Structure 1
Amino acid sequence: MNLKEKYAELLANIGFDEKAIEKNWFDLEKAYSKKSRYYHNLTHINDMIECFEMYFDKLQFPNEVLYSIFYHDYIYVSSKKDNELKSAEFAVKILPKSSNINQKLVFDMICATQLHQHNEVEDINWLIDFDLKILARGWSEYQIYFEQIRKEYRIYPDFLYKPGRAKALKHFLEYDSIFQTDVFRKLYEKKARTNIEREVLFLT
């Protein structure tokens, strides 16, 4: 099942009609396919959905998690700090009144992808980990990732970008753990820390 089919199936399950599904897919594809998006694009969404499918049986609220995956970066402007909030507001706003999805949970899930901090709702922790799995890729793939992020912030010269990026990365290293679920900690924590430490050195 491709991304559009997965999206259409989800939206049908949570109360969208066929016309709304078609329109919303067009809008979503357009948003994630902007030329300014080198990393926060449909490839990133697809990677997260692969994680979602792998750990589906761990989730209590799979529809909310999947819907949040599709919309968590819907609005993404590198110079803004409220992308997650705006994305959450938009995701909730377009839900049909008859939708059977938990709107507050969707809102909280998408907002949680800003700070990536531990949450008492375990499904939010899974979503955060799906979003951050890129940090534990092999070094060559990780390097492509941080080069894509740099392109998204290309409006900033190196003397502004490098300290800002290093500061954000060091925040992750200060956390007791980068990943929020026991499964991801065991599998990916060490590799993610190694990659981040290496990128910080690259920036300084």
Structure 2
Amino acid sequence: MTLLERAEAFARPFYAEPGRTYHTAQHIQAVLDALASRGVLTPTLALAVWGHDLIYDPRAGDNEARSAAVFGEWLAAQGADMDLIPEVRALILATRHTDPPSTRAGALLVDADLSILGADPATFAAYDRAIRQEYSFVPEKAYRMGRAQVLRSFLDRDRIYTAPEFAGLEAQAGANLRHVLRELE
């Protein structure tokens, strides 16, 4: 069994945890497909995809850091190359979406993770409903304000997608975000 196959086997139970409606194995497959369909999926990126949402607690603000730590420890226990572990950790941390990606691989992973924003309107609406379910514990008014702030942060960027392979999603992502922001605000 390859390292990537072992990573998938290790990660799948995390993505099947109760309470996840968007951050599931289906999301992981969509990110992998987004990279593969553009011809940019590498083994390192695939590992980072499997590790990037291992820990998902909508009440916490450190999910990516915890995911990077858990997955990095797992990679080390598997005897992964010592250069690979910090690279995968850095890629996972890039999915915090707080700073522009500093590497091409980071840009590809971040853009693939955000590719749902540029999906067709029906797929985007299903994503938006799934996120609301994951945050069902948040009162409606607070959710609307918080969600609008998060989505506006993407719309306020010069560009949502930084890798040229994902530039074609920009217009649809903008339309989707503007639409849902009108509903939220």
TM-score (norm. length: structure 1): 0.83
Does the alignment pair 1:147 with 2:129?
yes
Aligned to 1:183: 165
Aligned to 2:26: 43
Matched residue type, 2:4: L
Verify the 8 A CA contact 1:10 1:63 in the aligned structure 2.
no
Aligned to 1:162: 144
Aligned to 1:95: 75
1:99-147 residue CA offsets vs partner (Å, 9 max, x unmatched):
2251111111001101164323101100011101111111111111100
- Aligned runs of 1:1-204 on 2, under 5 Å? 8-11=1-4, 21=6, 25=9, 27-56=10-39, 58=40, 62-96=42-76, 98-100=79-81, 102-115=84-97, 117-185=99-167, 187-204=168-185
Choose 114-123 or 78-87, whichever is displaced more: 114-123
| Structure 1 residue 10: Cα displacement | 4.0
Matched residue type, 2:24: N
- In 2 relative to 1, CA 9–52 (structure 1 residues): closer, same or farther, beyond 3 Å? farther
Verify the 8 A CA contact 2:118 2:170 in the aligned structure 1.
yes
- In 2 relative to 1, CA 11–137 (structure 1 residues): closer, same or farther, beyond 3 Å? closer
Verify the 8 A CA contact 2:38 2:165 in the aligned structure 1.
no
Partners of 2:76 and 2:132 lie apart in 1 by: 37
In structure 2, stretches of 5+ residues that fail to align are none
Verify the 8 A CA contact 1:126 1:181 in the aligned structure 2.
yes
Verify the 8 A CA contact 2:67 2:92 in the aligned structure 1.
yes
Q: Which has the larger Rg?
A: 1
Verify the 8 A CA contact 2:76 2:85 in the aligned structure 1.
no
1:127-171 residue CA offsets vs partner (Å, 9 max, x unmatched):
011101111111111111100000000000101100000011111
SS in 1 for 2:145: helix
TM-score (norm. length: structure 2): 0.92
- In 2 relative to 1, CA 9–116 (structure 1 residues): closer, same or farther, beyond 3 Å? farther
Verify the 8 A CA contact 1:116 1:128 in the aligned structure 2.
no
Aligned to 1:15: none
Matched residue type, 2:62: D
Number of paired residues?
Answer: 183
| Structure 1 residue 96: Cα displacement | 3.6
In structure 1, stretches of 5+ residues that fail to align are 1-7, 13-20
The runs of 4+ residues in structure 1 deviating greater than 2 Å are 8-12, 116-120
| Structure 1 residue 84: Cα displacement | 0.3
- In 2 relative to 1, CA 179–117 (structure 1 residues): closer, same or farther, beyond 3 Å? farther
Aligned to 1:5: none
